[in-house]
Amino acid sequence: MRSFRTDLHIHTVLSPCGDLEMSPARIVSLAIKHGLDIIGITDHNSTKQCELVWKLGKRLGLTVIPGCEMTSREEVHCLGLFEDFDALKEFQNFLDLHLTIIPNKPSLFGYQAVVDEDDYILEEQANYLGASLDVSVEEVEQKVHELSGIFIPAHIDRPRNSLYSQLGFFPPELKVDALQISKFANEKIVREKFNINSEITLVKFSDAHYPEDLGKTYTIFEMEEPTFTEIRKALLRKDERSVRIP
């Protein structure tokens, strides 16, 4: 078994709150510089920058998992990660169908740019990506799993936009592959506070919006190789795979 430094919650310049410096090329070079082995790209309610980060990562030997940070109707943030671009494309259709239409005001909400590998802007997203989807957190989870993706409620310890802050409880029907805690959270304290049983894996990711956030926060995945299948096994602690928050 090998150890992989993994951070599966990173925003690019496409997220309205993502720094303009968070271009695909910059993210890949910073991830490598800081010794990360696997990163996940999870912009708010859009997947449109994933493929380029994946391509640049592949060139330099960095594993990039395409994904998204969705905002459910209840304003719960959750991560969806996908194995391939067919699933990702289908998930993008789901996002396009369900995103509440609010025209973006860059001066107010921030820029939402899709850029190329030289950081040139290819297009700006017209609808505000920080808006919520018109579906429940359970419906989002079902869609992610229907596409064989990984579903992880985001920053569950935070007082806003988390499962517990928005719903006040863990929905019994919700099937999670893990729960993500935020960078300053303590795993043991979070487990006790929210009464999370030991069957559920906790992971810690950066939720990086700025270059300086990258590389400091990660989870160690103990598995055979840096693939989507192995990541899922590690989260579910199958076949002796596991994860560990350093």
Binding interface with Zn ion (CB under 5 A): 69, 77, 154, 207
Residue 11 vs 98, nearer CB to Zn ion:
11
Phi-psi region of 155 (alpha: psi -120 to 50; beta: other; left: phi over 0): left
Minimum distance between the CB of residue 240 and Zn ion, rounded to whole angstroms?
31
Minimum distance between the CB of residue 78 and Zn ion, rounded to whole angstroms?
9
C-alpha distance across the termini of the chain, in Å: 17
Minimum distance between the CB of residue 11 and Zn ion, rounded to whole angstroms?
6
Residue 37 vs 69, nearer CB to Zn ion:
69
Residue 40 vs 226, nearer CB to Zn ion:
40
Residue 7 vs 69, nearer CB to Zn ion:
69
Minimum distance between the CB of residue 158 and Zn ion, rounded to whole angstroms?
8
How much of the chain is in helix, strand and coil states, percent to nearest 5?
A: 30, 25, 45
* Cα–Cα distance measured from residue 180 to residue 25, given in angstroms and rounded to the nearest whole number: 26
CA dihedral 126, 145, 183, 212 (to 10 degrees): -40
Residue 157 vs 207, nearer CB to Zn ion:
207
Which of 181, 81, 75, 202 is closest to 137 using CA atoms? Answer: 75
* Cα–Cα distance measured from residue 65 to residue 31, given in angstroms and rounded to the nearest whole number: 13
Residue 154 vs 234, nearer CB to Zn ion:
154
Note the helical H segments in the chain: 24-33, 50-60, 85-98, 106-109, 137-146, 163-167, 187-194, 228-235
* Cα–Cα distance measured from residue 22 to residue 42, given in angstroms and rounded to the nearest whole number: 12
Tell me the residue number closest to Zn ion, measured at CB: 77
Minimum distance between the CB of residue 74 and Zn ion, rounded to whole angstroms?
13
